[in-house]
Amino acid sequence: METTRIGRFELLELLGQGAMGQVHRARDTQLHREVAIKVIRLPGELPPARLAEIKAAFRREARLAANMAHRGIVQVYDVGEQDNHPYIVLELLQGLRLSKILSDRGALSQEYASRVFLELLSAMAYAHRQGIVHLDLKPSNIMILKDGAPRIMDFGIARTFADLRRTDREMHGTPRYMAPEQIMARKLDPRCDVFALGVIFYEMLSGRTPFAQETFSELREAIAAKPHPPLQSYQPGLPPAYYDFIDRALEKKPENRFSSANAMLERFEAILDGDSGKANLTPFDDKNEARCEVFNFIKERIQRKGDFPAVARNVQDVVEAARQRGGSAQTIAECILRDFALTSRVLRMVNSAYYQSVSGSITTISRAVVVLGTESIINLASALDIFEHFLKHSNIEPLKRQAIEAMFCAMNARGIANALRMDNSEEAFICGMLNRLGQLIVAFYFPEEHKAIDELIRLENLTPDQASRRVMRLSYLELAQSMAGNWGLPPLLLEGLTGLPAGSPSAGHGKIDRLKTVVACASELSQAVVETSETERDAAIAELSRRYEDKIAIGFKDLRQIVENSIEQAWRLSKAMRVDLRTLGMAPASLENEAEKADTLPAGSREEHAQDTEPARAEPAAEELLSSFDSVEVDSQPTAIEIEETIDDPFVPFEARPGFVGQALGEIAATLAGPFLLNDVMMMSLEAMYRGLAFRNVVFAMVTPKRERIDFRYGLGPKSERLRRAFQLPLTLEQGMAPARCILQKREIAMLELADEKLDQMLPREMLEILAPRSLLLIPVVVLDSCIGLFMATRSADQPAATYEDLQSLRMLAGCAALAIRQSTQNQSLKRERRRHP
């Protein structure tokens, strides 16, 4: 069903679809709230009887769910039909399905599993009291919200008790969670839900299903007649009452099970009371409300003091774009390009020695996203934002030390993950980087409170988290998780950044437990690097290896090698980030000498990163500049970034453009003040012209070394690839038209409003067909009194004409690019001079 509106609901995003249905995120135009709409797509050839049956089942689901009001059950707002397609309007839930969490993490902790299960029992006890049986309870029908609270969804095959007494005995539901009587198509009652709840709790506690048979016939036989594997064989450390509780819920005969979810709830509460555990199960709502109140206060303080939240918002925009279904690399890249600090950071990082062996030379954000992957770019950008922000502003020794520990923890975590051959060592890298996020935030934004926390640790022998909770009302861990969650980082990273409690390393059964163990080990390893001398370091590493050896199988020699590698990697990575670890005493002398000779740029496009204080002996000739331009830094292949014409207004709003261009100029100037990649500056300039000045197409073209032709080098905008192929103009006044005049005469050409009769004098016909320009601006790029190329910017017929202010901004951005070219060629000249006269 192709539509953008259903009744009063405006469709915003497709969240998911199956064989016969779709779920959309939508906006209620009357009540001004976002909702979820589930639409059934009915084939036109269905027999009338079958069509009526499906619609009746859909209305029954809506009616049953709408009659229930419980915090653990998804709310139903409305039901209807449009164009013969029935739909149901539901509460929009933000979170993860329990099935996804179990797949990623494996077994949950006893405390967390008990909290979630207690809520599920409360919800299903309520449903049973209303006379409703779900009949399809399973982890994929349970949504875990951001605060950890569960919601039961999909009452599609639910029945009332009365319906169950008179319905025909067909098999409905998901076989692996069916009770014996359900999978055998016998009489059903609420005890079917009891059995399913038992299976779910078993999975939450063990990370395994009690019925793992692969074929339906084997599964049916196991559920109906074979005993399930005892839970204690997988989780021997639980209270004995848990095992009895699970066994009773999974009894083959219905009469031996709990009579309903209500009876099940009463028994589980008694178990928790007897185990003295219920008092520790803080209700989701109460804890979340208090935590949010404190966190909001902290966020307000941060916002008043510095630029950290602004950086986080940009990263969050990128995360949201990446999570959209069907999002392309170009879409993600466009979000990154809105923030020039983020753009330059990602380009520096993917072109550093750290990633060079993986990716080679990368000159655009779009290519970076494709090569490294969406999540990698997001996570890398997030973590480096944090590290660079704190280290750049560090002016007290404790904060510097914590920032350095965070850096080394990331390197150590990556090394351990690689040694263990984990699927994604970058996840370990990011979690290691974020491991001390809470401490960094408090030390930087709350220095007095940080001193008080340190005093409590010293005087009362409290753990850092205990002391932080007493002073800040949030532990360091809770603060880190809240901030990372506020940025929209994936749940796996939110869990993994915490590591494990000190002194109790365990690899666990699931991916998340293994990740937490790696982060815990890496955190202690980084302390051994930072806090001990080289003579004491081996003893500290040996002690660490003894404690972790039987958990993650990392011996002393491996850990020592990881430490050495992490120091070298951190040194090289810090150069790409423009942070000199030598000033903090963290680079061995042997590495310092080696690093002076090493480049951090990709092979084939190297440039000395250290600032040259020696004055240039000679300026390179313009011809030499052109002939060697490719060997400086510019990608040898032209780069045309194609931007879909259907993208909704990718440009900065008109009123914000001066500030945006000013920010871009500032970022470019800051980049030029230190070591830089020329490609970065060229792309930053083009992207500012495109986004900030709202030109439909922008191009940087260069004169060939023999000065016979003008060739396309970079481009942004729709049809850029076609434009690249068409942009090969003779460098003659007779044939080269406006671009040739711009270069040969070294003068700007600004046609703010092109007249039809002048079009053929400006550009070749093929380029005119591609661009359909209303405005045409050409800015020559002059270096050493020789014009080596030009910037071309166009507005199309459906855009406002360019203005003199646009020309001024374009001129300034082009000037920055020319300065970058001049500076890079000077550096190359000095490099050649040193080779000739060492």
Range of the domain at 706: 657-829
Domain match, 65 and 152 both? no
- How many domains, the chain? 5
User: Domain holding 154: CATH number?
Assistant: 1.10.510.10
Q: What is the pLDDT of residue 255?
A: 93
515/409 Cα distance (integer angstroms): 13
Q: What is the pLDDT of residue 157?
A: 58
Q: What is the pLDDT of residue 620?
A: 41
Domain match, 343 and 399 both? no
> CA separation (Å) from 123 to 132, 134, 179, 261?
11, 11, 19, 9
Domain match, 375 and 401 both? no
565/364 Cα distance (integer angstroms): 29
Domain match, 154 and 58 both? no
Q: What is the pLDDT of residue 244?
A: 92
Residue 76, strand partner residues: 90
- Whether the CB-CB separation of 343 and 337 falls below 8 Å is answered with yes
Domain match, 58 and 206 both? no
Q: Could you tell me the mean pLDDT of each successive run of 10 residues in the chain, 838 residues long?
A: 78 80 85 83 72 74 70 82 84 88 88 90 87 89 86 72 51 82 87 95 94 89 92 88 94 93 90 60 48 69 53 54 55 60 58 50 58 57 52 53 70 86 73 79 80 82 80 80 66 65 49 82 79 77 84 82 78 52 50 40 31 32 46 49 48 65 72 71 83 88 89 86 87 82 90 77 88 92 86 90 87 85 75 67
Alpha-carbon torsion angle 803, 805, 809, 810, nearest 10: 20
* Of the candidates 337, 831, 786, 440, the residue with the CA atom closest to the CA atom of residue 597: 831
Report angle CA 448, 454, 460 to the nearest 5 degrees: 130
Domain match, 432 and 559 both? yes
User: What phi and psi values does residue 212 have, to the nearest 5 degrees?
Assistant: -100, 10
Q: What is the pLDDT of residue 243?
A: 92
Of 567, 588, 609, the residue at which a domain comes to its end is 588
pTM, two decimals, is 0.40
Q: What is the pLDDT of residue 156?
A: 59
* DSSP summary character for residue 487: T
Question: Would 835 be classed as within a structural domain?
Answer: no
Question: Would 552 be classed as within a structural domain?
Answer: yes
How far separated are the first and last CA of the chain, in Å rounded?
73
Place of tokens 């983020």: 342
Domain match, 132 and 252 both? yes
Of 392, 420, 451, the residue at which a domain comes to its end is 392
Question: Would 646 be classed as within a structural domain?
Answer: no
Hey, what are 383's tokens?
């973590």
Q: What is the pLDDT of residue 608?
A: 30
> CA separation (Å) from 189 to 133, 134, 135, 174, 235?
7, 10, 9, 16, 31
User: Domain holding 434: CATH number?
Assistant: 1.10.3210.10
Question: Would 303 be classed as within a structural domain?
Answer: no
Of 68, 91, 114, the residue at which a domain comes to its end is 91
208/770 Cα distance (integer angstroms): 58
Question: Would 119 be classed as within a structural domain?
Answer: yes
354/570 Cα distance (integer angstroms): 9
Q: What is the pLDDT of residue 4?
A: 82
438/425 Cα distance (integer angstroms): 23
Domain match, 400 and 388 both? no
Hey, what are 165's tokens?
């007494």
Domain match, 204 and 330 both? no
Q: What is the pLDDT of residue 596?
A: 41
Hey, what are 335's tokens?
């979000």
Domain match, 440 and 569 both? yes
Domain match, 408 and 501 both? yes
Hey, what are 629's tokens?
């331009």
- Whether the CB-CB separation of 483 and 491 falls below 8 Å is answered with no
Question: Would 838 be classed as within a structural domain?
Answer: no
Question: Would 286 be classed as within a structural domain?
Answer: no
Domain match, 380 and 399 both? no
Hey, what are 115's tokens?
């909290």
DSSP reduced 3-state for 635: coil
Q: What is the pLDDT of residue 466?
A: 80
DSSP for 105-154, written as a single string: H-SPPHHHHHHHHHHHHHHHHHHHHTTEE-S---GGGEEEETTS-EEE--
Cβ-based neighbours of 145, under 8 Å, separated by 6 or more:
93, 94, 95, 151
